[in-house]
Structure 1
């Protein structure tokens, strides 16, 4: 790699820029200040935000100064959705989300040393601004005919519901962030997802109109699977970075189960693996896909980055133990809970016959099928084969008093959770 821009391109993290040649020159000629904004409309960051944090971290490692902006003011408004008006959240809820996100970002960037990252909240410069000052000093620089061309705005204007002035003003508020950071910190680069391009370029234009300065923008592509679906979504639920919203075990399993066609793309975008390392992993995907070496590497690297090495070791141990390569009794109660929560299962009391537990958890369709599986040696409780069709789940089978892990065959697992 000759510079940071080349690396970002190789890693598939450049979808578009305002002026590639000018941006390359700015990055190569000395440290620049770059920022990315994060929306606190939810109490956690998610997979898509992690992509942006990865770009910020690479920028910081290359010697550039990075700013992580949490939208305490923009979160009160909400970026317009293309299909419906947002339900506005109250100020206390947004404030709590801002605090949680600030804590979450801490381990993901370097906030110490000579080139420490900065964490800012746009409520600090938006709250003191009066409505008249906002309209006179900022609003005059925006043209409505340009604002309505934004895709989400255009779609809402075509709908019966229309769009409120509140949401329509969102792009002005976000543009103000760029102007403020340019004035106070000489920030000359904003990054964000390609779905935010309209808001990002609004800031570029505002800085140019007000200050006469040229600043830059870089959008990352939305990572999608082989069928064009966005990563980070599973049945409508985001993969959160906060452990209390997506457990470290579920987080690890998500990346462990990435399809072969997408794993190399994600290794490039989300890990620090070198070109040679990724080339070797790509070769293994092609020649020995059943080993899932690339997926294991991806899951371990990303989980360690977000949750720490100890959490990764715990979830790896749980993953191995569930499939008979470790002792389930050695798992901590928290890890066991996380792991069994991800399994299909049912609540059953102590003393429940294993035959009935197999049916209740959905591993078999009937008692006769359960007896047949046990008779053929295909059922186990906590990785111990069950040979007696009259066996029951004893007190000690519920590990940590939480759950017993039932298995049919090698790969079919379920959790009998203590009722």
Structure 2
């Protein structure tokens, strides 16, 4: 049995993957609608950047405050609880838009929902990471993590396409209503992941100190030992994972924020072109995820090449204004950045001791979330202060410096082994 098929065979795996896919559709649909509507209402890139930052920064603060609880409780059940917040947020936005509230009230509602989303996303990553690490062998866990990211990208593409159709018809309220329905479907998928037999197996494993799934090493972790072949990484490697999560994690929201004024510059007033641009980015991320999970690209190669390649593509977006070429460059840039993020997520899940996966995930998400929020704010400010082309060139410079510096950091033998270079 292959790693991919064995991963799907564990109770709850299929429903967990369904949760990631459906959640990707809902999150993409809602996020694109908020970004587009905020710029459409205010014509201010700084406001759009603030909406992007609100989706990350509050989660950083709250996540750090509750990080010690990230490894407690039933992971699947906690996923269910946090996702009720997402359903409530989408429902609120649908009601506010249907009521034709003032611009100030609408933007405030956007910000409030984005803030709640930031905390839920932070905790969901920790809970999902625990669920995967506890129930799957190491090789299966890596495959499932990559597949879940890829399926989230598939959902993102579908959400982007749906947003394009609905925004083109000026149906902003329907975007929020559809997101609410999708979050409800995600809740049902999480409930199915908590099937009685899977839940009972996990409770039995916790009670007697044996793995919930063969090969996971949960029993050894409970006894204070690391599973054989999964020795925890050194503090230096963990710090490197945190530091080099910043460039790619920050770059994606940067390009998402810059995509709104870019779309207006290339195709003024076209919601369809913005949706096509966003769908291109998500589609590129999905294809990159599939290539990485299929073994066509090694993690070590991604870590060495992705950021310098992203710098070259950002320069292209600074100078090109042909619609087809812009869509192509944007999609490839998103693909390159997504592969780097996926590798860092896998390292985050596999490097720390098993009983600290949730805590390290929250810390890493806090670092990445700070980068995302800061980059979204800076993108809006750079566009307003220096112009659209300058913003893309600044991004290119940051990616180039970060990528070149990895060539010395990545030579650490422990890091090379963790990334699969040895």
Q: Which has the higher strand share?
A: 1
Q: Highest Rg: 1 or 2?
A: 1
Q: TM-score range by the shorter chain?
A: under 0.3
TM, length-normalised to structure 2: 0.22
Q: Pick 1 or 2: higher relative contact order, CA cutoff 8 A, min separation 6.
A: 2
Q: Which has the higher helix share?
A: 2
TM, length-normalised to structure 1: 0.22
